[in-house]
């Protein structure tokens, strides 16, 4: 079935949300791949991608896979990391963590 314009817009909006939730720009090249693979499924109209095993997967999970793909590896920012047990490091990097330029792991 061919996607209508409304369906394409809905998929685009969900792809943009997945990119932003994954700390990527809304217009990142991964978005084009996702929009080509994504389908609207379910009674509540959610957007999913079919994986290699034929199972539905969330867009954020597919984004993580594509971030490790050699085609996109160089376009993905690598934010600074702070260990969750490092109290002084967390305190010193609080502003960066709030901005999203540092990640707690």
- Residue 92 domain boundaries: 79-105
pTM of the model: 0.75
Instruction: Give the pair of three-digit tokens for residue 87.
Output: 């109290």
Same domain flag for 53 and 84:
no
**CA-atom Rg of the chain in angstroms:** 16
Same domain flag for 65 and 84:
no
User: How many domains is the chain built from?
Assistant: 2
pLDDT on residue 66: 92
Same domain flag for 66 and 83:
no
pLDDT tens-place string over residues 3-59: 899 999 999 999 999 999 988 899 999 999 999 999 999 888 899 999 888 899 999
Same domain flag for 90 and 58:
no
Is pLDDT of 79 > 80?
Answer: no
Same domain flag for 65 and 88:
no
pLDDT on residue 58: 95
Same domain flag for 11 and 37:
yes
Give the containing element (helix H, strand E) for 57. Answer: strand 56-58
Same domain flag for 67 and 96:
no
């Amino acid at each position: 079935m061919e996607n209508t314009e409304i369906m394409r817009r809905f998929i685009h909006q969900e792809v943009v949300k997945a990119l932003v939730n994954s700390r990527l720009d809304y217009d990142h090249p991964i978005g084009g791949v996702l929009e080509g693979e994504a389908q609207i499924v379910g009674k509540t109209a959610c957007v999913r991608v079919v994986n290699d095993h034929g199972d539905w997967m969330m867009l954020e999970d597919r984004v993580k896979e594509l971030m490790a793909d050699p085609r996109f590896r160089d376009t993905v920012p690598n934010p600074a990391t702070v260990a969750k047990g490092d109290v002084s490091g967390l305190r010193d990097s609080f502003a960066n963590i709030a901005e999203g330029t540092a990640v707690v792991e």
